[in-house]
Structure 1
């Protein structure tokens, strides 16, 4: 099966999994598990959600080793993607200025912003891999689609 076909199947599984369920935490929990179980060569998948009170990204549902709990907008890959409201693919995290190393095994990363149907930026999807160069434009395209599917289910 091609990479694109695998992603299409995963995104269809997400649609079925969250159909009729508007709860954000429940959907993010299942989404992180789906990513972790489906994507090859990753070691972490999860979400950071923006907390208005602290003005920080706070750890949300995830799969993998324990993680950093709070990230300031503009810091690390997650904070930068959130602040710039754009997806970021990092081939080698050791070359990313200010990378936050929660797990020394992580070598590459992709982060996708999460935007609600009304355009509110609420957090990011973060996926790490234990190899360099794991993510490319195909991953970005389909993970951005994954994020839209997920956010369209939330009220």
Structure 2
């Protein structure tokens, strides 16, 4: 199955998983599990919640992760501060990268905005270089939006 077909199926599955559930932590938990177990070459899938002007580790699947990230620090912190999706083909070339897992080589981070406020970021890592692209960005953003539908 090609990437776009996979994401269309994941989008539908995510919508079904979240239907009728309004607890954000429960929904983040199921979305991180869905993404981690469905996407090839993904070594981490999870959320960092924006609280008290920093990112705090939320529900995730994968190896242990950093618990606190300052705005503007690392890929997650830059995505949160700029409120722009970050696609990093080689994290070792990203100025200020935070190496929570030394095996990570590429990353994508999607900021989650609700009512014009940063709520969290969705973070996916891969041990492969250049794993993520605009198709990932497009569909991960759509899946993240489902958290508030």
Matching of residues 1-155 of structure 1 within 5 Å: 1-52=1-52, 55-116=53-114, 118-150=115-147, 152-153=148-149
Alpha-carbon distance, 1:2 to partner: 1.7
- Partner of 2:78, secondary structure, is helix
Alpha-carbon distance, 1:148 to partner: 1.1
RMSD: 0.7
- The TM-score with structure 1 as length reference comes to 0.94
Alpha-carbon distance, 1:125 to partner: 0.2
- Partner of 2:77, secondary structure, is helix
Conserved 8 A contact 2:18-2:146: no
Q: Deviations over 1:22-66 (max 9, x none)?
A: 0000000000000000100010000000112xx210000000000
- Partner of 1:57, secondary structure, is strand
Q: Report the Cα distance in structure 1 between the residues aligned to 2:46 and 2:18, rounded to whole angstroms.
A: 16
Pairs aligned (count): 149
Alpha-carbon distance, 1:146 to partner: 0.9
